[in-house]
Structures are given as C-alpha cells and as structure tokens.
Structure 1
Amino acid sequence: MKRNIDFPGGWIPDEEEACPARQEEDVSGMVRNGMELRRLNRNRIFRAVYESGRVSQQELAFRLGLSLPTIAQNLRILCEEGLLKEDGSFASTGGRPARGVSCIRDARLAVGLDVTRGHVSAVLTDLSGEIVRGIRRAVPFSDTEAYYRELGEIARKVIGETPPERLLGAGVSFPGILAAEGGIRSSHVLGLGARQEEDFTRFLPCRAMLCNDASAAGRAELWGREGENSAVYLSLSNSVGGAILLGGSLYEGENLRAAEFGHMTLVPDGLPCYCGKKGCLDAYCAAGILSNGYGGSLDAFFTALDRGEKAASSRWDAYLRSLAVAVNSLHMAFDCPVILGGYVGAYMVPYMERLRAMASALDTFGGDGSYLQPCLYRREASAVGAALLFIEPFMESI
C-alpha cells in the first residue's frame, strides 16, 4: 500500500515497502526539494513585484500560475522581511478593491567604488541599481597606504548613516586584469603589477571584492536594459576594454582575460600600442586619441568638432573609420547588440547614425547597424556595476 505525504514528488513507499535508511533518505530529499520549491516561488513573486513596480495579489497569481493562498503567504513573509510593502488599492471593478504591493528598493544597499588614474567615484545603490548617493573625488592613484585609507574614507562618506544590516558590501572596480588565483595581475593604467585584493580593500568598512572596470560597466548596462540578456560592451576610455555578457552572465574567459578588445589587431604592423605590440585597437580608439592636443579634455575636443574645426573633424573621421571596423568585427563574432561606453561612449549619441552607416557598409549580411547602441550610463557605470556584485547575489538568494 502507498500513501501520499505533503511533499512535492508525490508517493513514497510505506515502512514495510522500503528499508528505514532508504526511506529516511527519500524523505530528506523531498524535504529539501520542497524547501527549494518554496524558495523559488518566493523569489519569483519578489521579482514579479520588483519588475512591476506595483501589483495586486490577483495579478501575481494570474501571471505566475500560483494559487492566491501561496501568493498571500509569500507576500506576508516578504513584507515581514522588509522587502515588500502594501501600497494602496487599485480601482474597484465591481467588488472589493484589490490591494497593491510594491518593492522597498532601498531595503538593501550596496557600495560601488571606481578607481581610476585621476579620481575615485563612489556610489550607494539600491536594489534596482539606482544611485542613492554619489561622490566623485579627485584623488590621483598611488600605491600607498595613505591612498587606500582615503579609499576607505570615501566609502564611509557615501555610506553615511546606512544601518549595517542593510548594507550588502562594496565592489571595487579598477582598470586592469584580475589574477585567476585572486587579486590583481596587472594594471597598465595604474602602473601596477601583481597585488592582493586586500591591498585595495583592507580599509573599507564592509566586506568587499574587486572587479575589472569594463566588466563592471558592461554588467550595469545590461542590468538597465529590459528584455536584453546578451551584449558586447566596448569601453572607450583611457584604454580600450570591454565585457562579454551572454545569457545574462559575464563571460570572463579561462584566464580572466576575455573582452580585452583593446588588444585585438586592427592594423597589422600599425601604430605602436602600450603593450609593446603594433596595430592594436587601443592605439586607434582610446580616448586620448581624441583628447590629446585639447588639454586632455574630451569636452574640448567635441566642442571643437561641433564648431567644425578642420583638425578635429579630420581626427574624428579617422577615429570613426577605425571604430566601425572594430564594432563590425565584434558583431560578426557575437551576433548581438554592441554597446559603446566609456569616456568616448558618453558623447556618442549625436554621432550614432553616421557610425551605424559606416558599420553597415562593412556588414557581410547587409545589416543596418541597428545593433550598435549608445551607453545608458554616461557616468559612474563601473561604480554601479561594482555595486551589482553584491546586489545580484542577494536578489538570487531571496
């Protein structure tokens, strides 16, 4: 004879039909499966509320295919945990008005720090990735204890009065390559060789982790784009880098060196690159290619370009030709959106149609260049992406 017990998975044998040890193992597995199913349902409900802004129990039940009692029970737990809240009522359609529920987006917060050669950006973000508070401070990088202490002070400043129980952690982005065994392998921009993660994080007031700046920016860009889960992010800053995001996940490569687009060969035996090779994309599309001769200022360069100055126009034409070849190659390789970010990416919106036309002319399959997209974050993308190192796992754990 078999009996039904209240676990997903259905029927299990009675004691006389199975040995006690096997029965205990089966029941234990069903308990684990049941707990996991409840957690997954709770996570689905939370994410549905998070993505909707404000929604009713009835709409959640319809959308997720769950019973109203299951919805109500999980909403109660999520409200008790301080993640959701009741949020008014919807207009009546004939009966009792449906009550609304919404996400408390600042229930948890995370810090993102972006370390550059000339400044530090710090942001405090909520669960949606929105910046709650931000600081940008001109602190030239130096590999000294005084600098790392200053990094800690900047983090404390942006954290402010945030209660410790609401703070998830701090991500630190930097322009360089991570070591597979942990820490930093090198950073040409910062003039660093191998360093331990603790060198950067030891004075921070919360748990912390490092990430590459372009990878962080790419993560932030994809996070902010509804309906997209794959993209290539091309960072056009003091050096050229990027990120490959496939199926919503960052692809880092076997040696954590994926998306080093700046060192793709654009012109064999071409201009010298800082890496010692010749013809790298970095030698043609780093931000300094435009700002050198304009006081190191991209603002000054684009002002001259908009005024129609011949030297600026000639430099921009050459830059776009190189960039068009690069983005076409990326699109041929990955067949997904290519997002232009970094310092130059922040200026690209008025010039996108021209660049799309140039890339389209190179497209073997006759595309119109619409895969090319300007960045959403004109500033602090890397800092926001660094904060997401803690927000994403927390969202998955609910």
Structure 2
Amino acid sequence: MDPRFRRGNLVSIVKYISDREQVSNSEIAGDLHMSMPTVLQHIKTLQTKGIVEETGKHRSSGGRRASLFTLKKDLAYAVGLDIKRDRQIFLIADMLGKTVYSCTCEVPYEDSFAYFEKIRRNLDAALTASGLQRSKVVGVGISLPGIVDVSRNLLLQSHALGVSNVSFQGVERLIGFPVKIENDANCAACAELRSYKGNAVYLSLSDTVGGAVFVAGALHKGDCFKSGEFGHMVIDKDGEQCYCGKRGCVDAYCSARVLKAAGGGDLNTFFARLKRGEENAVNVWRRYADYLALSISNLRMMFDCDVIIGGEVGGYLKDYQIRLMELLGQYNKFEYDNGYIKIGKFKDDGSAYGASLLFREEFIENLFVRPERVADYSVM
C-alpha cells in the first residue's frame, strides 16, 4: 500500500474514534468505506503504537460480540484558556474531547506583562491540580473576545478588552507550550458543533454577544475575520449605547450583562428571581426575550438554517425555549415551525472547551508524519 494512502487511512481512523469515543471494526469499515481486512490491519498497528486500546465488547443477543476500541486514555491533552474581561477560564481535555480538569481564576484583563505572567502561574497551577505531566500537553488554545488573525497569533481588535494589535507569539515562550488563538464565539461554536457536517448559525450570549457561521460543517470566517459579529448588528438605530460606540447593537440588549445587572451581578441569581416571579426580573426578561427573538428572526432570514443559542445565557434557556418560539412567530411570518432554534449544552466554559480543540486535529495529523514529536507522547 502507498505509504501516503496508509497514513491517510490511519489518520481517518483516529479522527473517527476521537469523535465517537468508542467504535467497532465494522463501524469503522462501514462509515469510512474501508475493507474489513484493511481496518483490522490498521487497528492492530494503532494498538501496537499505543494510540488505540480495546475498551470492551458490543452488546449482542447472540453470536460473537464485536470488540470496541477507543483512543488510549492518556494519549495526549490540550488546554483551552478563555480570556474574559474579568476572569480566566482554564479547561484541560483529552483527545476524545473529555474534560479532565477545569477552573476559573478571577483576573481582570490588562495589557501588561504582569497579566501574561498570571496566565503562566495559573496554567502551572491547573496542570499541578490535574496531576498531568507537562510532556503530555500538546498545546494551549486561547479564546479571545475580538477579531483575531490566527495566522499571526494576533488579536487585531477587542472592544471588550479595550485593546488592539496584541501579539500572542511571545506567550509561547513564556508558558512553554505551543499557542493558538481564536475568537471566543468561534471556539464556543466549535464546541457545540463538534463533528457537525451541516449548515448552522451559532449565537453566543455571554458578557459580549458574538456568533459564528458554519457552512457544510466548516467555520466561515469572512474575508476580514469578522464573520459572525452578530452582537454589533443594529436592531434600533436610536437605541441604547453599545460599548463599541454605536447605538442599538444587539449586544446592548442581549448580552449576559443585561440580565446580570438585574441579578446583583450574578446570572444564577437573576434566573432564580425570574422563577420566583419577581416583578423586576420578569420585566427585564420580557424585554430581553423580545429583542432576542428579533435578533434570532433576523439570523434565520439571512441564513435559513438552524440557529443555536449558546454562551452563558444559552445554558439557562431550555425552560424558556417555547416562549422564545412564540415570540418568533411575531417576527417570522414565513414559517410556522420554529424548531430551528436549538439550545446549546455549554454555559460558561464553551469557549474554553472549543479552544482546547484547536490542537486536536493537528496532533492527530502529526501522529504519523513527525515521529520525533510523537515520541514525546509515548505513542510510537
């Protein structure tokens, strides 16, 4: 077999397993259109190299039960760091995408060396608390609220952090790991839509409002990396002041800050008050939900696909999904089925989780082309 073709098969199998946690040989053969002898040979190779291990047997009503395979538990790990205005969220995941450790550090952002030194210290503390060896960590993905040039590890502009043209290249030397950066909403969308192959729009409702567009399972970033800046669509030209300088932006009406302000600065407190029926919370929610429905309707009109609601607020919306659908009926007269609204499964840690995925595919690709690198992770 051509070595390049063989390598491609091995990479495809590892990616397939990493997306599905545990699989059988027949599932691999069927979904990846490989012959059973080819799959058996490749699985044996992956077991020999310490990349894949048998994890059990399929349930069966009769006959021989098929073996199930998964990636080796300690194959490698990646760190996701979500930088927000007032805190740093760290999350460590394995190559199956399972979170093995997470923590939040209350650290206000500042454009200084001291801030990045705090990242180093907090990262070291997280690794120590997790009990993982540094040699098992393939890199640190960093999620940022702003416009990002990933090719240069450069934060071009962030109104939320009040900075522009901040390079993260030096962070690699400081923390001792490879670094990739990405927009926070893109990271959160990748977390929600991991392995998704269709079209979707993701709307992130956190301290800032952002979003992402997926076309045929691929993230569409736009010509200038600004795709998905839904928080700065204007829905009331004479409306409230947005932090970006404009008036009437979605962010001014639908960010988590709006609800936190009515909950003493805490989102849990707000929704607790809303459930108790406290008048102020109910009034704030009615206004918030109306603007949210308007924004969702606009996104549906533009993209004609599922709209996934995530971020901090998204994690609370399951109980209010029906009400949102009712409100959408006021703005969308072209369809009666509002089932295109989906509620995300992440709350505050979606961006950090998505950032941890930035190194996963690269690591898998490199398993079979850079043996000197792979040797660091004891898989060759």
Shorter-chain TM band:
0.7 to 0.9
2:282 to 306, 313, 320: 313
- Aligned in 2, Cα 1:197/1:49: closer, same or farther, shift over 3 Å? closer
CA contact (8 A) 1:117 1:190 kept: yes
Number of the residue aligned with 1:140:
108
Confirm or deny that 1:259 pairs with 2:228: yes
How many corresponding residue pairs? 364
Q: Deviations over 1:334-353 (max 9, x none)?
A: 12221111222122111111
- Aligned in 2, Cα 1:287/1:64: closer, same or farther, shift over 3 Å? closer
Cα distance, 1:285 vs structure 2:
1.1
The unaligned stretches of length 5 or more in structure 2 are 368-380
After superposing the two structures, state which structure 1 stretch, 281-290 or 380-389, moved more: 281-290
2:292 to 323, 327, 340: 323
Number of the residue aligned with 1:250:
219
Confirm or deny that 1:287 pairs with 2:256: yes
Number of the residue aligned with 2:148:
178
The unaligned stretches of length 5 or more in structure 1 are 1-6, 8-33
Cα distance, 1:278 vs structure 2:
1.6
CA contact (8 A) 1:125 1:387 kept: yes
> What SS is found at the alignment partner of 2:175?
coil
1:216 to 167, 172, 187: 187
1:104 to 49, 52, 72: 72
Q: Which structure exhibits the higher relative contact order, with contacts defined as CA atoms closer than 8 Å and separated by 6 or more residues?
A: 2
CA contact (8 A) 1:357 1:368 kept: no
Q: Deviations over 1:281-306 (max 9, x none)?
A: 11211222222243222222222211
Number of the residue aligned with 1:20:
none
Q: Distance in 2 between matches of 1:150 and 1:295?
A: 28
Number of the residue aligned with 1:191:
162
- Aligned in 2, Cα 1:49/1:176: closer, same or farther, shift over 3 Å? closer
Q: Which amino acid aligns with 2:339?
A: S
Number of the residue aligned with 1:114:
82
Q: Distance in 2 between matches of 1:339 and 1:200?
A: 33
Q: Deviations over 1:297-346 (max 9, x none)?
A: 22222222112122221111111111111001111111222111122212
Normalization by structure 1: what TM-score? 0.83
Q: Distance in 2 between matches of 1:373 and 1:270?
A: 28
- Aligned in 2, Cα 1:61/1:286: closer, same or farther, shift over 3 Å? closer
- Aligned in 2, Cα 1:265/1:63: closer, same or farther, shift over 3 Å? closer
Q: Deviations over 1:224-268 (max 9, x none)?
A: xx6553321111122211111222221111111111111111012
Q: Superposition pairs for residues 58-73 of structure 1, below 5 Å?
A: 58=26, 60-62=28-30, 64-73=32-41
Q: Distance in 1 between matches of 2:32 and 2:13?
A: 8
> What SS is found at the alignment partner of 2:161?
coil
Q: Deviations over 1:131-185 (max 9, x none)?
A: 1111111122222222211101222222335344432200111212224773112
CA contact (8 A) 2:29 2:35 kept: yes
- How high is the sequence identity, in percent, across the aligned residues? 36
Q: Which amino acid aligns with 1:118?
A: D
Number of the residue aligned with 1:230:
199
Q: Which amino acid aligns with 1:280?
A: C
- Aligned in 2, Cα 1:273/1:36: closer, same or farther, shift over 3 Å? same
Cα distance, 1:46 vs structure 2:
2.9
After superposing the two structures, state which structure 1 stretch, 351-360 or 362-371, moved more: 362-371
Larger radius of gyration: 1
CA contact (8 A) 2:289 2:324 kept: yes
Normalization by structure 2: what TM-score? 0.87
1:156 to 117, 124, 133: 124
After superposing the two structures, state which structure 1 stretch, 343-352 or 161-170, moved more: 161-170
> What SS is found at the alignment partner of 2:258?
helix
Give RMSD over aligned pairs: 2.5
After superposing the two structures, state which structure 1 stretch, 321-330 or 157-166, moved more: 157-166
- Aligned in 2, Cα 1:275/1:47: closer, same or farther, shift over 3 Å? closer
Q: Distance in 2 between matches of 1:135 and 1:306?
A: 28
